[in-house]
Amino acid sequence: MKKLINKPEDVVKESLAGVAAAHADLVKVHFDPNFIVRADAPVQGKVGIVSGGGSGHEPMHGGFVGKGMLDAACPGDVFTSPTPDQMEAATKAVNGGAGVLHIVKNYTGDVMNFEMAAELCQAEGIEVESVVIDDDVAVQDSLYTAGRRGVGTTVLAEKICGAAAERGDDLKTVADICRKVNANGRSMGMALTSCTVPMAGKPTFDIGPDEMEIGIGIHGEPGRERMKIKTAKEIVEMMGEAIVSDLPFKSGDQVIAMVNGMGGTPLIELYLVYNELNQFLKGKGITIARRLVGNYITSLEMAGCSITLLKADDQLLELWDAPVHTPALRWGV
């Protein structure tokens, strides 16, 4: 394992210390329990937004804490759900009296830990709503299973809900907007290489020098299919078809598109993928109204990318365009 770290067990703590030192103007980092809050939290009268999940997906979520996006993020160990005490403390820290929204990615651990935290907070009189994001079309959805994983749409939901909260929407409205984003967002990912969890010390999965994994999760969970590597064009068509046909997105739709790097893929390739996606969607009569190209929800140093499309109406676009000022996303400020 080759990493720029000291001891594997200290990675999360020391990285958080780096975030604290680098972004003292934007965020405060609390240790034991670990969470990151806006420097000006709690904002009185504003709905608070808390998210969180395992570490190793940076900049998500800590990089999205700040004005116009998250009020707090709870980082767990690498690829491990945070615990209810973190979420409870974070929720209390950001509660400005208007209630708190928990944005949760659909993994059994995340869902149950957030659920316990919500119960603890509600027991103390804080109004909490939870929205679970489950946008990964690579996973078969079913009432009888854990359902789809929460991936790229989470980033878009955090931005959009953050804007809604910032302009003063109430808890129910912000939660409804979050559900709307989840209902209209779809993602799929692929990997060229594995990642290595620091504590594990070896790659999560083996993959041949000419293979790729399509439909992979953000923790290196196996995907839909292992196959021989293809061209960027073919990969985009494969993932694009799966995404577009699922909602389905239709000719005439406007979308917010994200071409997201898994951590180890350089920007020159992500822009090349964006070019293919743009062509592909044009061919379907779908217009990219806004976009993100870069590393936003990663799997440590995994090489690969994911594509997220969110069908967007004027309401969502207006919220998307609203000012945001976080370590990883900034505009209008």
Catalytic residue set: 57, 219
- Residue closer to ligand ADP, measured from CB, 87 or 236: 87
Q: Does 222 bind ligand ADP (CB under 6 A)?
A: no
Among the listed residues 135, 162, 132, 131, the one whose alpha carbon sits nearest the alpha carbon of residue 320: 162
d(CA 55, CA 83): 12
The CA-based angle 106-112-117, given to 5 degrees, is: 115
C-alpha distances in Å from residue 119, one per residue of 145, 209, 213, 288: 23, 48, 38, 40
Which range binds other proteins by CB under 8 A, 137-145, 165-173, 261-269, 324-332? 137-145
**Which of 186, 85, 80, 72 minimizes the C-alpha distance to 136?**
186
Contact call for residue 109 and ligand ADP (CB under 6 A): yes
Rule CB under 8 A: say whether 84 interacts with other proteins.
yes
Instruction: Kindly tell me which of 63 and 84 has the beta carbon lying closer to a copy of itself.
Output: 63
Q: Tell whether residue 81 is a contact of other proteins (CB under 8 A).
A: yes
Which residues are within 8 A (CB) of 313 and not within 5 positions of it... i.e. 6 or more apart?
Answer: 254
Q: Which of 219, 244, 280, 292 contacts other proteins by CB under 8 A? A: 219
**Piece of the chain touching other proteins by CB under 8 A; list 21-29, 61-69, 108-116, 124-132:** 108-116
CB nearer to Mg ion: give 108 or 315: 108
- Residue 232's binding partner, choosing from other proteins, ligand ADP, a copy of itself, none, with beta-carbon cut-off 5 to 8 A by kind? a copy of itself
Kindly state the helix (H) or strand (E) to which residue 305 belongs, with its residue range: strand 304-311
Q: How far is the CB of 142 from a copy of itself (least distance, A)?
A: 31
* Residues sharing a CB contact under 8 Å with residue 22, sequence separation 6 or more, in sequence order: 327
Binding positions for other proteins, 21-50, rule CB under 8 A? 33
Site for Mg ion, rule CB under 5 A: 80
